[in-house]
Amino acid sequence: MVAMSAEPKRELLWPAGAPDAKGDTDNDKPTITVYLADGADKTNCGVVVLPGGGYGHLATGHEGVDIAKWYNSFGVSAFVVEYRHRGRGYAHPAPIQDAQRAIRTVRARAEEFGVSPDKIGVMGFSAGGHLASTAATHFDAGDAKAADPIDQVSCRPDFAILCYPVIALDQPFTHRGSQKNLLGENPDKALVKSLSNESQVTSDTPPTFLFHTSEDTGVPPQNSIVFYEALQKAKVPAEMHIFAKGRHGVGLAANIPGTSAWPKLCEAWLSGQGMLSTKSEASK
């Protein structure tokens, strides 16, 4: 078993102030909490974790802290993001600004965190899955001339893990609450299409793992299916699991028959992607 760092460290994502901040309260200050893996089996992989909550709140327990501890258990460092959302008074583009900033932060500080800059992924649950899919389809190489060294590096994740994600917008199976919180009542059609992320997949989209449940009526599994089909069409390596049991929001799905297998399947997928090499293996 890999030991977790003694105390997770919570930091401001934007120490000098977030873009488009509406004030100077905690609601205006998105954070990243650093859970570094430790021990002989520590890998050089890091994952930015985006909890769900319909873009109106954040499920930072079972879709944040619990997930970070799970990653640490097999040597992966995790970075849980408390991004801005409607409950804090923010809509698009604040969530994706925060998600991209988190990916850049981990990459720019990779040496400090003990991770490899080319083994940094993004993971999201429900609306956080939509945000993770946005990060996987909307990214840039960074600005080499930026004054802030974090802004100089790419925000493209090296892989994406989407857990019962919201994906498509303005569809019969869209989670309308998430869309409304993110984009408002009557959003511009071009903006809706640009954030209906199955339509934004290209050959540059990173390898992706998806899981969903058939019993999910909040965010139906068609969301994962359309994204998986787009990945297949673009020839992006992808793996998808749709389990029979479990309502929306199962987290690690402990004690749910069948569905409880997803964490091990995800770990195996990461290993197959070459993301879980350890220092001891690298020195052989």
Please determine, for residue 3, whether its predicted confidence score (pLDDT) is greater than 60. no
Tell me if the bond preceding 19 is cis, omega within 30° of 0.
Answer: no
- CB burial of 115-134 (b: ≥16 within 10 Å; e: otherwise) equals bbbebbbbbbbbbbbbbbbb
- Per-residue pLDDT averaged across 139-145, rounded? 97
* Predicted model pTM: 0.96
42 phi/psi in degrees, rounded to 5: -65, 130
At residue 284, the pLDDT reads 42
CB atoms within 10 A of CB 15: 10
> At 56, is the secondary structure helix, strand, or coil?
coil
Sign of the C-alpha dihedral, residues 172, 259, 203, 135? positive
Please determine, for residue 283, whether its predicted confidence score (pLDDT) is greater than 50. no
Residue 178: pLDDT band (50, 70, 90) is very high
**What is the DSSP pairing of strand 120-125 with strand 208-213?**
unpaired
Q: Average pLDDT over the chain, rounded to whole?
A: 95
CA 144 to chain centre: 25
Q: Which amino acid is at 231?
A: L
Task: State the Cα–Cα distance between residues 49 and 135, nearest whole angstrom.
Answer: 12
Helix ranges, 138-236 (H): 176-183, 189-194, 222-233
Please determine, for residue 280, whether its predicted confidence score (pLDDT) is greater than 80. no
HEC string for 244-272: CCCCCCCCCCCCCCCHHHHHHHHHHHHHH
At 17, list the tokens.
């102030």
Percent of the chain having pLDDT more than 90?
94
At residue 183, the pLDDT reads 98
- Per-residue pLDDT averaged across 203-213, rounded? 98
Q: Give me the domains of the chain, ranges plus CATH numbers.
A: 3-282 (3.40.50.1820)
